[in-house]
């Protein structure tokens, strides 16, 4: 099998599982080419090498940086920038049973949580993420682990113009990157079936008012608003969700997000004030994240 035949097989499987997604599947396939990212040919060659049975480590290193994980492929351990398993441990006890549920994961990255959701009983997980490298990492995982009901499409939420109601919708680590959080939640609502559940995870600040970073937040240029947990619940109510529950608030530690052998760029430690780790280098409160669950009424 080659990368091209793997892609065709995966998209055919998805189309059979969720025929309503066919229009966006067609659009997604066209994104897997050199016109959408200059590094694409190198990434495709790496997956071709995996499919040919070559040593996994050199091929997977071509797909660096690995941000979400960790991963275990046989003997090979990929120590990713994020201990996403810690986020999963905070979320899992609060998730409704997923048996037979179809899950949509917005901003899925490389599909890490999709594998955890399948273990938790989900029937199928569709991730969408516009970053092509993360979609390639997902296909690398599929080429090593075999076909599963876990897909990642190279799309932004705003491009998902189909009206399939998912049983569970996740948006983790995305809303503070959006200029219009109300629009983001409106779209999440539209993708949640009546009676379905939303998982929203966001950076949050303590206090009574959201933070509007002046230029950067923890050196990120694309953080537009950091809400309070109460603001998140108000936004959710305004979008039509009910029964909002803040189930977890955890400061992000430099053990949870850090430079590793598989993500060699600077990480959280370099975004904190060296004299006071409670502050970012810009003087804002250091990153803290909340998980909120909510339901779409029947
Ligand atoms: C901070 S990461 C979070 C990844 C993962 N959900 C997690 O919680 O660890 C944000 C992800 O959202 C993706 N993203 C950014 N804008 C998006 C959009 N408009 N629609 C879907 N995903 C988006 C990025 O490519 C990135 O992978």
Atom of ligand 1 nearest to the CA of 156: 20
Query: Contact at 8 Å (CB) between 94 and 248?
Result: yes
SS3 21: helix
Q: Residue 7 — pLDDT band, cuts 50, 70, 90?
A: very high
* Nearest Cα to Cα of residue 68 among 196, 257, 235, 206: 257
**Cα distance between residue 280 and residue 282, in whole Å:** 5
Shortest-distance Cα residue to atom 8 of ligand 1? 172
Shortest-distance Cα residue to atom 3 of ligand 1? 173
Shortest-distance Cα residue to atom 12 of ligand 1? 107
The token duo for 111 is 């599909």
- Per-residue pLDDT, 162: 87
Q: Is the CB of 256 under 6 A from ligand 1?
A: no
* Nearest Cα to Cα of residue 67 among 54, 49, 79: 79
- Dump pLDDT digits (tens) for 269-294: 999 999 999 999 999 999 999 999 99
Shortest-distance Cα residue to atom 18 of ligand 1? 156
Q: Is the CB of 177 under 6 A from ligand 1?
A: yes
Q: Is the CB of 144 under 6 A from ligand 1?
A: no
Task: Specify the DSSP element, H or E, that contains 246.
Answer: strand 242-251
Cα distances from 210 to residues 6, 75, 228, in angstroms, run 45, 45, 5
CB atoms within 10 A of CB 221: 9
SS3 70: coil
Q: Is the CB of 84 under 6 A from ligand 1?
A: yes
Shortest-distance Cα residue to atom 25 of ligand 1? 131
Average pLDDT, the chain: 97
Atom of ligand 1 nearest to the CA of 105: 6
**E strands within 91-175?**
102-106, 124-128, 150-153, 166-172
CB atoms within 10 A of CB 159: 15
- pTM listed for this prediction: 0.98
**Cα distance between residue 113 and residue 67, in whole Å:** 13
User: How many whole angstroms from 53 Cα to the centroid of ligand 1?
Assistant: 31
Shortest-distance Cα residue to atom 27 of ligand 1? 109
Query: Contact at 8 Å (CB) between 154 and 87?
Result: no
- Per-residue pLDDT, 288: 98
Q: Which of 37, 67, 84, 109 to mutate to test the pocket of ligand 1 (most atoms within 8 A of CB)?
A: 109
- Structural domains of the chain in order of their starting residue, each with its CATH number: 3-295 (3.40.50.150)
**Cα distance between residue 8 and residue 28, in whole Å:** 11
The partner residues of 169 in beta bridges, in order of sequence, read 104, 198
Q: Is the CB of 155 under 6 A from ligand 1?
A: no
Calculate mean pLDDT across residues 236-251.
Answer: 98
- Dump pLDDT digits (tens) for 181-212: 999 999 999 999 999 999 999 999 999 999 99
Asked if residue 76 has a cis previous peptide bond (ω within 30° of 0), the answer is: no
Query: Contact at 8 Å (CB) between 268 and 252?
Result: yes
The token duo for 223 is 């953080």
- Per-residue pLDDT, 5: 98
* Nearest Cα to Cα of residue 186 among 202, 172, 201, 175: 175
- Dump pLDDT digits (tens) for 26-77: 999 999 998 889 999 999 999 999 999 999 999 999 999 999 999 999 999 9
């Amino acid at each position: 099998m080659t990368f091209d035949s793997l892609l065709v097989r995966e998209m055919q499987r998805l189309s059979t599982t969720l025929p309503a997604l066919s229009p966006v599947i067609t659009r997604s396939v066209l994104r897997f080419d050199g016109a959408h990212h200059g590094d694409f040919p190198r990434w495709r060659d790496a997956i071709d090498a995996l499919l040919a049975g070559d040593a996994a480590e050199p091929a997977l290193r071509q797909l660096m940086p690995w941000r979400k994980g960790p991963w275990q492929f046989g003997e090979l351990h990929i120590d990713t920038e994020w201990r996403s398993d810690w986020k999963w441990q905070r979320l899992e006890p609060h998730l409704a049973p997923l048996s037979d549920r179809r899950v949509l994961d917005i901003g899925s990255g490389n599909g890490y949580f999709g594998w955890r959701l399948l273990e938790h009983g989900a029937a199928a997980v569709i991730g969408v993420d516009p970053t092509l490298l993360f979609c390639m990492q997902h296909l690398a995982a599929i080429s090593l682990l075999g076909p599963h009901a876990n897909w990642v499409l190279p799309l932004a939420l705003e491009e998902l113009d189909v009206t399939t109601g998912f049983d569970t919708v996740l948006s983790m680590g995305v809303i503070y990157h959006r200029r219009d959080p109300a629009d983001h939640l409106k779209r999440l609502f539209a993708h949640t079936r009546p009676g379905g559940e939303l998982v929203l995870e966001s950076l949050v600040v303590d206090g009574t008012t959201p933070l509007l970073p002046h230029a950067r937040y923890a050196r990120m240029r694309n953080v537009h608003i950091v809400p309070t947990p109460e603001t998140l619940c108000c936004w959710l109510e305004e979008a039509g969700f009910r029964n909002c529950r803040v189930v977890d608030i955890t400061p992000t530690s430099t053990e949870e997000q850090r430079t590793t052998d598989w993500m060699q760029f600077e990480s959280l430690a370099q975004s904190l004030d060296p004299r006071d780790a409670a502050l970012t280098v810009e003087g804002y409160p250091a990153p803290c994240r909340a998980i909120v669950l909510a339901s779409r009424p029947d």
